[in-house]
Structure 1
Amino acid sequence: MPRLNLLEETRFEKLPVTVYPDMLTASKVVAGRIAAIIKKKATEGKEAVLGLATGATPIVVYKELVRLHTEEGLSFKNVVTFNLDEYYPMAATAAQSYKVFMNKHLFSHVDIEPQNINIPDGELAQEDVAAFCLEYERKISEYGGLDLQILGIGRTGHIGFNEPGSAPNSGTRLVSLDELTRHDAAHDFGGKANVPAKAITMGIGTIFKAREIILMAWNEKKAGIVKKAVEGEVSAEIPATYLQLSENVEFVLDTDAASLLTRFDTPWLVKDCVWDTRLIKKAVIWLAKTLNKPILKLTEDDYNANGMAQLVIQNGPVYNINIDIFNKLQHTITGWPGGKPNADDSQRPERALPAKKRVILFSPHPDDDVISMGGTFIRLADQGHDVHVAYQTSGNNAVWDDDTLRFVEFSVDMAKAQGDNTDKQQASYNEMREFFKTKSPNQRDPHYIETIKGLIRKGEAIAGARFVGLDDNHIHFQDLPFYDKRKVSKDVSYEADIQQTMDLLQQVKPHQIFAAGDFADPHGTHKTCFDIIHEAIIRLAKTEEWVKDCWLWLYRGAWFEFETYEIEMCVPLSPSEVERKRLAIFKHQSQKDRPVFPGDDAREFWVRAEDRTSETARIYNQLGLAEYEAMEAFVRFPLAP
């Protein structure tokens, strides 16, 4: 019976999927499977032939293989490897080359024979590439084919560098990279313009010949493309869907990457559910959106026709369910994000007391505060709360070089106008111009240039916070050390960052904390900044009484909003408040028009912010609630142990 239930639950999935609670657990399982193949082949006196991938996805797998080698004696003497791909052209010694990547994460730490390592050659003359690709295929066949091929998946659905349009029988070849793939690689190359336009990749046909194929995917960023690859139709537009045709494939996912699969996202469509409050809210809002109906107009037929008959039987009648969810949504709406004084707060998202709260808004970058929750920021200040803002990092990565020159030129000219000696400033300016002329893609700026870029962003942040209504002594610049340290190494200690955050929290003793809740990228600045705040609060809670009365609210950035069913506080903005928020964003001139790291979206930050909040308002109105110009959404993060 359990097997039948599982088959029913996964009936939309067209290939085997195993879901683990987190990336670490899943990576250790995959590493264990690789180790088992290596050991089995060794006992048979044979070579283990492995197809390996690069990128962030397999890094923890390689780390575990290195541990198995150093701590448990796993030998790689009998291992032969073939890497999936390499950029073209690409120098073997370049920081972005996959040869450097593999040596860094695996090969230089184990006892593999150098002659057994095979990676596509990015330094070949173009006329020699075709012959090399044929030889790569021949060599794989000479070893009897791949015992195991591990894969990641790109946001275009590519496996290896088999981009949309790739044929299912394709072999190793030179390909052109999709624009989205190049965009995703831009950070490693110091800009999309520096990402090679081509790559050498194993073909889908080559991958299919492996005796086992494991595709791994972690975090929410991959959830959308994973759903298409697993549940969608086979299509050349999403090459990973070809894996549905293999009998030897398995997708290994963490819970975040699997979150949009039907059995997790809309489980009522495939199984009986345990209908708790959160799931009921999610299902009813989903039904209203799917049918484009206000919640109060949903009928029993609507529920029955969309997999929700069990809910009606257990919690009906439908009218009562609709009223309950409508009221829950309505109670998230408040014009008093700090709590409404002298009001019954039993149905409000925030407490009425104390009437004037101490508030600290943590902003990972110097403009996240006004972009993400500028209207609420203004409302809190207008309503008389004791509001502080803390800019956690300098944001110096995101200032254009020519903007930096412009500010220094102004400084030199200003000093000249005042009759000051400008020799030192002029020398620094000249040095800076020479550095920018020869600066290579992704090269780190010297410390004095990073300082200038940080000062540019600091000045903009001060202007924005003053515009909101804060006094200068309520504007804090943490300049957390991890931000610059991670430019040198990803392996850094966060202790100094945590201690600094604890000191600030102890100084303010807030009733409310607002923090960025963008967790899709587990290694991104927003997630790191949140983890620092969270750890600081956990430590303070052991000794500080005020923490018991502190609530932590999460906001989202300019790209994506919380799902409607997740929202616990929604602050409506009038047209004039939207305009004030826009003007606060405009204070960040270095980020306007064309930011250094624009993400996938070509719109300016202020446009994205307005579109996001107007869309939230539109959804609330579609569900049958009042119509507002815009709405900023928040989710409360539980701090209780």
Structure 2
Amino acid sequence: MQNVTLPIMTRLNLLEETRFEKLPVAVYRDKETAAVKVAARIAAIIKRKQQAGEQAVLGLATGATPVGVYEELVRLHREEGLSFRNVVTFNLDEYYPMQPTSAQSYVTFMHENLFDHIDIAPENVHIPDGTLAPEDVAAFCLNYERQIEEAGGLDLQLLGIGRTGHVGFNEPGSAPNSGTRLVTLDDLTRRDASRDFGGKEYVPRKAITMGIGTIFQAREILLLAWSGKKAPIIKKAVEGEVSSEVPATYLQLAENVEFIVDAEAAAELTRFDKPWLVKDCVWDEQLIKKAVIWLSNTLGKPILKLTDEDYNAHGMAQLVTEQGPAYAINIHIFNKLQHTITGWPGGKPDADDSQRPERAVPAKKRVVIFSPHPDDDVISMGGTFIRLIDQGHDVHVAYQTSGNTAVWDDDVLRYVEFAIDFETSLGKDAGPLRSVYENMREFIQQKQTNQVDTQEIRNVKGFIRKSEAIAGARYAGLADDHIHFQALPFYESGKTLKNSVTDKDIELTMALLQQVQPQQVFVAGDFADPNGTHVVCFNIVVEALRRLRKTETWVADCWMWMYRGAWHEFEPYEIEMAVPLSPQEVIRKRNAIFKHQSQKDTPVFPGDDAREFWVRAEHRNHETAQQYDRLGMANYEAMEAFVRWHF
């Protein structure tokens, strides 16, 4: 009897844990593991069909999400003999208009990532045609549906998900019975694609896509999603109501669907984000802090006013039973939050530091602030940057990349024109510079979408960012010999798609760290950066410190703090150091940001937030302070937030 009961109880517990989820979700620790599992399922279909003497009909997706799956399928073909001779494929979509030879076309994508590396017959590959005349599109779409039917229907449809909730290019408003058709792309979809095209204005406004109804006819549907960027839309698609505003919610009506996600993409599902609502929890310090702050915000009550009844009515009875009463928990969490607040980000000299986020000793610390782009330092932690200098610490700033892809072309011409006039005013021959200028101007006039700039143009863009960074750091009070420009090689490809990180990037970082031997390091932990540069730069610093730890004793005393602010902010329960800013300090930070004139008004890559960077930064700093105020802390003008990285 016991052998029967345990599995039943396990299933019941799982049902309770996932009760907010309206379709099956498989969660893997990382995208690499998930991709291998998905590829194995596809391979199993192919082999089963081969044994039956039948074709395997696959619906394929494009974008960054399925790349790992395709890499594993290629490996299975090369190393384990998986044949694709019996495979017929139909791709979900294609931009319109779009030439198949374009770098942004899905034809190019599929050949580069899969078709050119396997033995699939060219006639078995089907991708919507982006070169059609407008009057031929409707007939093509009808025929595309007919070809899928004649092939026997889709055995498996692979899907990604856009942040609008689109599957394929079925944008909000799509009907659940829609077929293959020409659609207009959502503005957010075009913004997300802007990096590939060199700007949103170059992204096509339309696309040809399979419809929701077409996708539903597949015998198996797998939707894949990786990274925290997809977490909000995964929650909506899995736990939200079925709505045309989030087309992926239609998949809740399918019986043959499964979502395959990594831990980061699953992070906002209730069972991970608020586990106390679905199961008994192991109440560690971080989870208690998160739950109490959530309860305070949910009820609109300061932490110290929460009651046992509040806990019991909101899924937290277990916590009160194990660690209550409520007031004892409230006091504990209130004190934990209070102790994160400090006006001494480098540590307060001659003070008891047992309840402070930073050490008191040494009183004057050597500090390195790593800034992925030339403006992240002042945008994300400009107030703390200034305060560290004001309080006498030995501060260095390291600009990890040149940022030369994020400058408008007309700024290049404007600066070179200034240089020509300056040369002429000194009575010098500006002829050679004028010749370079004319070549630049001709290149820019004929420049194609996403075309790599000439070296001279890239240099000028880099010089513009460098001069602005120097101005900002000087305004913060830094001496010129404490300003370092690393120009890490991974970034210097001149393209939006960067080179891979190599030992050279890490060795340059190790050399700077060894030179300064800091007790504090600040790094960008804002991985919501749509360009991906922040996370790459973060990993370089982490690896540099890991290598140095093996031989250098000073590294044991080096604390690493992560900052955010340009794109996102830490949640209150995550914050380990909150540096309050006075109204005057907010103005000083704003003025430091203003030194980056090439990024004012509209930057080249603004991401989702159309506001200028200084406006974003002030809003996020103000909101952090307001959140602390609502929880019952002191009411400050603004706050910059930090989380310590533990090796």
TM over 0.5: yes
The residue that corresponds to 1:261 in the other structure is 269
The residue that corresponds to 1:198 in the other structure is 206
Cα deviation digits, residues 108-138 of structure 1 (max 9, x gap): 0000000000000000111111111110000
State how far apart, in whole Å, the 1-side matches of 2:531 and 2:382 are. Answer: 25
State how far apart, in whole Å, the 2-side matches of 1:623 and 1:559 are. Answer: 24
- Does residue 179 in structure 1 map to residue 190 in structure 2? no
- Does residue 92 in structure 1 map to residue 100 in structure 2? yes
State how far apart, in whole Å, the 1-side matches of 2:301 and 2:62 are. Answer: 46
* Equivalent position to 2:291, from 280, 283, 294: 283
1:63-212 pair list within 5 angstroms: 63-212=71-220
The residue that corresponds to 1:439 in the other structure is 447
State how far apart, in whole Å, the 2-side matches of 1:177 and 1:606 are. Answer: 30
State how far apart, in whole Å, the 1-side matches of 2:237 and 2:405 are. Answer: 35
- CA drift at 1:519: 2.4
Secondary structure of the structure 1 residue equivalent to 2:405: helix
State how far apart, in whole Å, the 1-side matches of 2:148 and 2:562 are. Answer: 50
Partner AA of 2:150 in structure 1 = E
Partner AA of 2:209 in structure 1 = T
- CA drift at 1:83: 0.1
The residue that corresponds to 1:529 in the other structure is 537
- CA drift at 1:488: 8.1
* Equivalent position to 2:61, from 43, 53, 78: 53
The residue that corresponds to 1:610 in the other structure is 618
The answer to whether the 8 Å contact 1:18/1:251 transfers is yes
- CA drift at 1:269: 0.3
* Equivalent position to 2:390, from 363, 382, 403: 382
5+ residue gaps in structure 1?
Answer: none
Distance 1:424 1:460, change over 3 A: same
1:264-413 pair list within 5 angstroms: 264-413=272-421
Distance 1:379 1:490, change over 3 A: closer
- CA drift at 1:486: 7.5
Cα deviation digits, residues 550-589 of structure 1 (max 9, x gap): 0000001322110110000000000000000000000001
Partner AA of 2:616 in structure 1 = R
Distance 1:547 1:224, change over 3 A: same
Secondary structure of the structure 1 residue equivalent to 2:561: strand
Partner AA of 2:507 in structure 1 = Q
1:462-541 pair list within 5 angstroms: 462-485=470-493, 487=495, 492-520=500-528, 524-541=532-549
- CA drift at 1:602: 1.2
Partner AA of 1:433 in structure 2 = R
Secondary structure of the structure 1 residue equivalent to 2:94: strand
State how far apart, in whole Å, the 1-side matches of 2:493 and 2:40 are. Answer: 33
State how far apart, in whole Å, the 2-side matches of 1:80 and 1:10 are. Answer: 36
The answer to whether the 8 Å contact 1:171/1:202 transfers is yes
Cα deviation digits, residues 26-60 of structure 1 (max 9, x gap): 00000000001001100110000000000000001
Partner AA of 2:644 in structure 1 = R
The answer to whether the 8 Å contact 1:396/1:453 transfers is yes
The residue that corresponds to 1:592 in the other structure is 600
Partner AA of 1:98 in structure 2 = Y
- Does residue 240 in structure 1 map to residue 248 in structure 2? yes
Secondary structure of the structure 2 residue equivalent to 1:228: helix
State how far apart, in whole Å, the 2-side matches of 1:488 and 1:381 are. Answer: 35
State how far apart, in whole Å, the 1-side matches of 2:191 and 2:530 are. Answer: 19
The answer to whether the 8 Å contact 2:528/2:568 transfers is no
* Equivalent position to 1:576, from 566, 584, 588: 584
State how far apart, in whole Å, the 2-side matches of 1:70 and 1:491 are. Answer: 25
Partner AA of 2:202 in structure 1 = N
* Equivalent position to 1:457, from 465, 470, 486: 465
The answer to whether the 8 Å contact 2:70/2:113 transfers is yes
Partner AA of 1:2 in structure 2 = T
Distance 1:225 1:301, change over 3 A: same
State how far apart, in whole Å, the 2-side matches of 1:87 and 1:548 are. Answer: 52
The answer to whether the 8 Å contact 1:220/1:521 transfers is no
The answer to whether the 8 Å contact 2:490/2:499 transfers is no
Secondary structure of the structure 1 residue equivalent to 2:59: strand
State how far apart, in whole Å, the 1-side matches of 2:379 and 2:28 are. Answer: 35
Partner AA of 1:186 in structure 2 = S
The answer to whether the 8 Å contact 1:331/1:347 transfers is yes
- CA drift at 1:187: 1.0
The residue that corresponds to 2:5 in the other structure is none
The answer to whether the 8 Å contact 1:494/1:532 transfers is no
Distance 1:489 1:88, change over 3 A: closer
Distance 1:532 1:58, change over 3 A: same
- CA drift at 1:624: 0.3
- Does residue 12 in structure 1 map to residue 32 in structure 2? no
State how far apart, in whole Å, the 2-side matches of 1:145 and 1:362 are. Answer: 53
Distance 1:209 1:234, change over 3 A: same
The answer to whether the 8 Å contact 1:594/1:604 transfers is yes
State how far apart, in whole Å, the 1-side matches of 2:498 and 2:23 are. Answer: 35
- CA drift at 1:485: 3.1
The answer to whether the 8 Å contact 1:516/1:557 transfers is no
Aligned-residue CA RMSD in angstroms?
A: 1.0
How many correspondences in the alignment?
Answer: 639
- CA drift at 1:520: 3.9
- CA drift at 1:522: 9.5
The answer to whether the 8 Å contact 2:590/2:614 transfers is yes
State how far apart, in whole Å, the 2-side matches of 1:154 and 1:278 are. Answer: 31
The answer to whether the 8 Å contact 2:176/2:212 transfers is yes
Cα deviation digits, residues 81-127 of structure 1 (max 9, x gap): 00000001111111111000000000000000000000000001111
The percentage of aligned residue pairs carrying the same residue is 72
- CA drift at 1:287: 0.3
State how far apart, in whole Å, the 2-side matches of 1:360 and 1:522 are. Answer: 25
Secondary structure of the structure 1 residue equivalent to 2:484: strand
Distance 1:588 1:491, change over 3 A: closer
The residue that corresponds to 2:4 in the other structure is none
- CA drift at 1:487: 2.5
Distance 1:229 1:613, change over 3 A: same
Secondary structure of the structure 1 residue equivalent to 2:261: strand
The answer to whether the 8 Å contact 1:77/1:111 transfers is yes
1:32-51 pair list within 5 angstroms: 32-51=40-59
Secondary structure of the structure 2 residue equivalent to 1:564: coil
